[in-house]
Structures are given as structure tokens and as C-alpha cells.
Amino acid sequence: MSRMDKLIAEIETGSVRYRRVEEVAAVGTGRSDRKDATTDGAYPFFVRSKDALRIDSYEFDETAIIIPGEGGIGEIFHYVEGKYALHQRAYRISFTDPAIDPKFAYYYFSSRFKKFILQKAVSATVISIRKPMITDFKIPVPPLEVQREIVRILDKFTQLEAELEAELEAELEARQKQYTHYRKRVIEESQTDEISTLGKLEDLGILKLGRGKVISKKALEAAPGDYPVYSSSGIGNGEFGRYGEYMFEDERITWSVDGGGRLFYRPPHRYSVTNVSGWMTVDSSVLRTKYLFYLLTTLWEKERFDYTRKAHPSVIRDIYKFSIPSLAIQDSVVATLDAFDSLVNDISSGLPAEIVARRRQYEFYRDRLLTFKDLAA
């Protein structure tokens, strides 16, 4: 039995006392504003984001846990030792009781705080928190030697997980570059000398271009539903929220009309797109939507389209020139690129799934090491 397995077995058979944060720590916010940040400041400046900024002055000199008061609730945690500055809407938790190892408390917050906050909320998300929501949180207090052994294990686990994740992400980046190069070659080989444009296809009735409709965050919150709403975001699949109504059921290509985004292929399902997203649909008896998606993605990169411009349908309709190969060739290209794309990008297979699996493995052992029976129960 490993040291970690032995420790988990001891934890699962014992009981410890739980203490409320207000009994064992000082909790408060900072006084600094984001505009106070400097590029090469001498001290870390914790705001409400995952990455710390820098600043020329400090407010605190201590060991503490930092969490945002707005945004990233239950997702963002910082552990700091020494001098630092803090944003007005971020909280510091500095432990005053010597019976608690601050790093142990940091790991416990990372593991349990989000669930605790969600239980206090009336909705599935928490937009902001207040001091009492932190001070009411309870932390187990096992013997210090147990806390320090857990910290040692999790520190090592975190280091190994970070190193492996960095290797996997480097491999994924290399595969993505390889895929981009391969996609470009496959698309170019499928092209002939017969040139067309989106505008010409639109004139022939083969293609339609348009924009979505205004759907605010307030409207989504007022009428939540089962149907996804896509916006201009280039993060993930661009999902903005869910709504009780839908605009489309067919497959389409969408993109950001405000610039800075990328193309998305939307397979057939019930969904909507916001007014900052453009959409296009084609006659599949002439042109496969997925082939056009791969083609335009390649041209989008090749032509180095100025993403700072407004990419309205009327702007891009005549920018890209291309040919339409036979349906057999289009289907072959789609099958080939789908297989490669799945390896690189599909979260259910390939390297991204390996990265997710490693994170879940770490979280599994972390949560087991931090699960204690309450002595008062």
C-alpha cells in the first residue's frame, strides 16, 4: 500500500473537528484598482482573474488564499506568501489559528468551496459573493502532521500533473499545426480552375447569408430553455446561453460579424445565433456545408482577413474566390478532415481527452485526501 493509500485509509476511518472560517482567519478585500497595475511592477497584484498582474506597491505581507468576489466564483484560487496587492472586489483569507496549515486550507477551498457556494445560491451560477458567504465556510482541522502530509502529496501531484499537462498541450499544439497544414493541402488539392465567390453563389440561389437576432443575457435568464444560443465568442463552441425558442434546425456556418472570432460549423440541431454572429447555409445538392466550412477556414487563414474589420455578410461575400469540386470529392475531403479533426480537437478522443483525464485523476485523489468525517456529526 502506498503512503497516499495508507493516509486515505486513515482519513476515512477517523473523525476531525470542523471550524468556521471566521473563527480561524481574517477575511477582507483590497483597496487597489486595476488601473494601478504596471507591466513590470515589483509585487503581484491579484484581481478577479486567473492570472495575477503586477504593481509597484503592496498592501499585505502575509500568507493567504485569494478568491475573486465577482466572476470565476469557485473556479479561481490563489495561494500567496509575502507582499502583494489586492483588488477592491477580491478577498483575502489569512489564517490566524496555528492549528491550520494555510496551504492545506488552500487545497480544501479549491476542492469544496464551489459546492458550498452553489448550495447557498438560488440559481445554478453565482455572480458575486459577500464576506459572510466566506466566513460561514467550514474547514476540517486534522492534526498538523496530517495536514502537512496532504500538502506534500498534493504539491507533488500538482507539479507532476502540471508537467504532464504541459507536455500534452505542447503535443496538442504540434498536432494542431500539423492538422492546419494538412487541411490546407487537402483543400488546395480539391480545388480546380473554376472560380466562384460567396456572392455569386448567393446570386445563383445556392447560398444564403444573414445575421442572427438580438438575444440579451437578460432575455436568456428570463426565459431559460433547452436550445443553445451561439454568439461571437471564439472560446469553446461559442455558446452564449440557452433559450426557450430556436431559430434554426439545419446545418449552417456561423462567425463573428464584429471581428476577432473564427468560423464555426453548426450541425443540424435546434439553436439560435445572436445579432453579432453571421450565418450562411447552402444547397447541399451542389455544395456540402462541411466542405465549405473547411474551405473557408483555410481561406480565412490564407488571406489573413483583417479580423479588426466588421465581417458583415455584405463585406465577406466577394472576398474569397474558390471552386466547387464534385460532390464525391467534397465528401471525401470532409471524411478525411473529420477524422483528423477528431484526433486533434474532439474532447471525447485524442490528446484533449488525455488532458481532461489527467485533471480528473488529480481532482479524484485531491478530494479523497480532503474528505473527513465531522466529529460533531
Here the CATH number for the domain that contains residue 254 is 3.90.220.20
Cell, residue 232:
461571437
**Does residue 119 form part of some domain?**
yes
Q: Are strands 90-95 and 321-322 parallel, antiparallel or unpaired?
A: unpaired
Last residue of a domain, one of 127, 142, 157: 142
**Does residue 174 form part of some domain?**
no
Q: How many degrees, rounded to 5, is the angle at CA 50 between CA 46 and CA 51? A: 65
Same domain, 228 and 309: yes
Same domain, 122 and 197: no
**Measured between alpha carbons, how far is 268 from 327 in angstroms, rounded to an integer?**
19
pLDDT of residue 10: 65
Last residue of a domain, one of 142, 176, 207: 142
pLDDT of residue 121: 64
**Does residue 332 form part of some domain?**
no
How much is the CA Rg of the chain, to the nearest whole Å? 26
Same domain, 319 and 218: yes
pLDDT of residue 1: 45
Domain that holds residue 53: 15-142
**Does residue 117 form part of some domain?**
yes
**Does residue 352 form part of some domain?**
no
Tens of pLDDT, residue by residue over 260-307, are 567 899 999 999 999 888 899 999 999 999 999 999 999 887 655 554
pLDDT of residue 165: 78
**Does residue 366 form part of some domain?**
no
**Does residue 341 form part of some domain?**
no
Same domain, 199 and 121: no
**Does residue 71 form part of some domain?**
yes
Same domain, 243 and 303: yes
Number of domains forming the structure of the chain = 2
pLDDT of residue 12: 64
**Measured between alpha carbons, how far is 6 from 132 in angstroms, rounded to an integer?**
37
Q: What is the pLDDT along the chain (377 residues), one digit of tens a residue?
A: 466 666 666 666 667 899 999 999 999 999 999 899 998 999 999 998 889 999 999 999 999 999 998 877 888 999 999 999 999 999 999 999 999 999 999 999 999 999 898 887 655 556 778 899 999 999 999 999 999 999 999 999 888 878 877 887 788 788 888 888 999 999 999 998 778 899 999 999 999 999 999 888 788 777 778 899 998 765 567 888 888 889 999 999 998 887 656 789 999 999 999 988 889 999 999 999 999 999 999 988 765 555 445 677 777 888 888 999 999 999 999 999 998 888 776 655 666 777 778 788 888 888 888 888 887 76
Tens of pLDDT, residue by residue over 151-209, are 999 999 888 878 877 887 788 788 888 888 999 999 999 998 778 899 999 999 999 99
**Measured between alpha carbons, how far is 209 from 278 in angstroms, rounded to an integer?**
7
Same domain, 277 and 200: yes
HSE-up of residue 82 (Cα within 13 Å, Cβ side): 5
pLDDT of residue 308: 47
pLDDT of residue 270: 95
pLDDT of residue 64: 97
